[in-house]
Each structure stands twice: as C-alpha cells, then as structure tokens.
Homo-oligomer: A and B are copies of this chain.
Amino acid sequence: MKRKVPIDFAEERLNERLARTGLRFTAQRRHVYGVLLEKKDHPSAEEVFMRAKDDMPDISMATVYNCLDTLVKCGLVKQVNHDRGATRYCSNMREHHHFYCDECHGTFDIDYDPSAEEPEIHMPDGFHVRAYEIAFRGICPDCAARKRGK
C-alpha cells in the first residue's frame, strides 16, 4: 500500500508522545492516526471509523472515539467544532486557524507563521470573511485559585 505520508516518521512521533503521556502504543491508535494523516479533510468520528475499517475491519466505533481522545490528549490532533454538527478532527500540527464556509459548510485550514514578530494571517485568495471569533482556552480565575489553594 502506497502512502502519501511518511507514516514511519509519524509512528515514531506517536510512540514518543504516548510514552511521554504514560499511554500504550497500540495498533488501533497507530491506524487511526494514519487515517487522519492520510487525508486532512477534517473528518468526523463516523468518517474516521469508516476509513479505518477498510484496513482494520474489526475496529469499533468506541475504539475510534477512544483513539481520537488519546490523540487529542497527546497533542497530535485537534478537535474542530462548528455549529451543531458532529465534532471533526484535524491532524495539521502547524499552528493554524480555520475558515468555515456558510454555504457548503466546509472547513479549511488557514495557516500563519506563529514565529513572526507580528503574526500575520494570510487569507488565501477567494475567501470572503464575513465574521471571525477567537476562542481562548486555559484556566479561569476561579479554577486557578482552587488549584493554588489545594
């Protein structure tokens, strides 16, 4: 089987990340990660499941969810949520943002160079931005206080 992605290289990275997080390396985790690397079109869990079954017919939906969660925990995969639809998964490891099309509901990666002094976002040609929203993540004041307290 031909692969567009240097999967052996990715496998090493997965192995290292799992070890660092105290998790085991399994065939299913490698395979799900491979599926995400092979076609970076932001598939839903259901879509990942169907693609994964091609080469691993016995894999279960529950395992796909488990593997996806594991990969997110390791920092190898990002969850992408939009409207009320299913969560989608993204293995683009470069820092990037997303563009959602109001018309076809497609999701597109928008790259930028985070190392630049003034990180500039280059919007590719033809994308018409109507609105944008920044989602920050971290620890809120109350939870920070609680953690310091205990």
Specify which chain B residues have a CB less than 8 angstroms from the CB of A143 in the assembled complex: 101, 103-104
**Cβ–Cβ contact A82 & B81, under 8 A:** yes
A interface with B by C-beta (< 8 Å) = 79, 81-84, 87, 97-104, 106, 108, 110, 121, 123-147
Query: Contacting A128 at CB < 8 Å: which of B98, B123, B144?
Result: B144
**Cβ–Cβ contact B140 & A106, under 8 A:** yes
Specify which chain B residues have a CB less than 8 angstroms from the CB of A133 in the assembled complex: 97-98, 134-135, 137
Tell me whether A97 and B137 are in contact in the complex, defined as CB-CB below 8 angstroms, given that A87-B83, A103-B147, A144-B126 are known contacts: no
Cβ distance A102 to chain B, nearest Cβ, rounded Å: 6
Specify which chain B residues have a CB less than 8 angstroms from the CB of A108 in the assembled complex: 140
24 contacts between A and B (CB under 8 A): A81-B82, A82-B135, A83-B87, A84-B87, A97-B133, A98-B134, A98-B136, A99-B140, A100-B135, A101-B139, A103-B143, A104-B143, A106-B140, A108-B140, A126-B141, A127-B136, A127-B138, A128-B144, A129-B136, A129-B137, A130-B138, A131-B137, A133-B135, A134-B135
